[in-house]
Amino acid sequence: MRVLVIGGGQNSEHEVSLASAAAVAEALGVGGCKVTTVTISRAGNWEVAGVSEGATAAESLALAMPLIAKADVVFPAVHGALGEDGVLAALCALAGVRVVGSGPRTGAIGMDKWATKLVAQAAGLRTARGRLIDAADCGDAEFDGPVVVKPVSSGSSYGVSLVRHEDELGAALQEAARFDRRILVEEVVHGREIDVAVIREAGGVRWAAPPLEIHASGLFDTAMKYDGSARFTVPAQLSDADATALSRAALTMFDALGCAGVARMDFFLTVEGPVLNEVNTMPGLTAASQVPRMFAAADVSYVDLVSRLVRAAEVPGR
């Protein structure tokens, strides 16, 4: 199996993506695949060794197309905008090449936190009450109690702030506006932070891995995600009723969005049940990331996990 692994990307998650792509490429090699890699620079250049030096972004993409054409499967381990949002899946769809993960439509909706909320609510899932604010209207925003401010389309908690006092709101909105003109302001939900990973295997069978609990005092922010201070419990210690409710909610959202490959659903577990927070259609994929930890708890090794994702790859829209 010839697999092209794409890493990098033109967004704040560039370094995270490089780590995911390197880990995926190594695991696929161990699993017996013939692996080729390419990195998208922060400026949008496809870095193809020996041929793309000095090329423009468009020229470098043209030079990378033979790699895509020769691949049996493309594994786009690019998180965030111009990657996870369906752009790379769309490129593979146009090229008629099988791709790991969700298709263009799912990626676009899943990356948009506001659209995701609307889909979740239509599917019968609870979400935090929230409102949209355009960056141009930041100065007119009203404070209505403790809120979480986040860019609508961004990952790894970049631009996310917990606002407890009115005088903090302006700075939080400006920080979010660095990553997206559309800003989501949500009520603070009190509950345990529980993640559930769902995979769609070759043949279409979907199943949820054992849930993972995040232990964080305050906001689970970017620093905590990547400085090694985050604490996880997997499997999360849950009652049978709560575990069932979370798995059902994760599968419901996976199906409502039309996800493929693997996706991570992030919930708050409250006394009233699960509240969906966000969806990640191309989550972090180093061996130490949350999704591989959850599948390890189901006796699926990291090498086996990425191999399963490759076997399940499809041409989007076919």
Summarised one tens digit per residue, pLDDT across range 207-248 is 999 999 998 766 555 555 555 667 899 999 999 999 999 999
Q: Residue 156: its pLDDT value, please?
A: 63
**Residue 87, CA distances (Å) to 5, 76, 95, 111, 228 in order:** 15, 10, 13, 11, 31
| Amino acid at residue number 241 | A
Q: Residue 136: its pLDDT value, please?
A: 87
Mean pLDDT of the chain: 92
CB-CB contact of 7 with 75 (8 Å): no
For residues 157 and 31, what is the distance between their CA atoms, to the nearest angstrom? 32
pLDDT tens-place string over residues 283-309:
999 999 999 999 999 999 999 999 999
For residues 313 and 93, what is the distance between their CA atoms, to the nearest angstrom? 12
Strands (E), the chain: 2-8, 34-40, 46-47, 73-76, 98-99, 126-127, 130-134, 147-151, 161-163, 182-187, 192-200, 206-208, 212-215, 231-233, 262-270, 273-280
Q: Residue 141: its pLDDT value, please?
A: 82
pLDDT in tens, the chain (318 residues): 999 999 999 988 899 999 999 999 999 999 999 999 999 999 999 998 877 888 999 999 999 999 999 999 999 999 988 999 999 999 999 999 999 999 999 999 999 999 999 999 999 999 999 999 998 888 778 888 899 999 998 766 788 999 998 888 989 999 999 989 999 999 999 999 999 999 999 999 999 999 999 987 665 555 555 556 678 999 999 999 999 999 999 999 999 999 999 999 999 999 999 999 999 999 999 999 999 999 999 999 999 999 999 999 999 877
Angle between helices 104-111 and 87-95 (to 10 degrees): 170
Q: Residue 224: its pLDDT value, please?
A: 57
Q: Residue 94: its pLDDT value, please?
A: 95
Q: Residue 15: its pLDDT value, please?
A: 93
CB-CB contact of 199 with 295 (8 Å): yes
> Domains plus CATH for the chain?
2-101 (3.40.50.20), 108-126+189-311 (3.30.470.20), 130-187 (3.30.1490.20)
Q: Residue 153: its pLDDT value, please?
A: 86
CB-CB contact of 128 with 149 (8 Å): no
Would you give the end-to-end CA distance of the chain in angstroms?
A: 20
This prediction's pTM? 0.91
Angle between helices 302-311 and 14-30 (to 10 degrees): 90
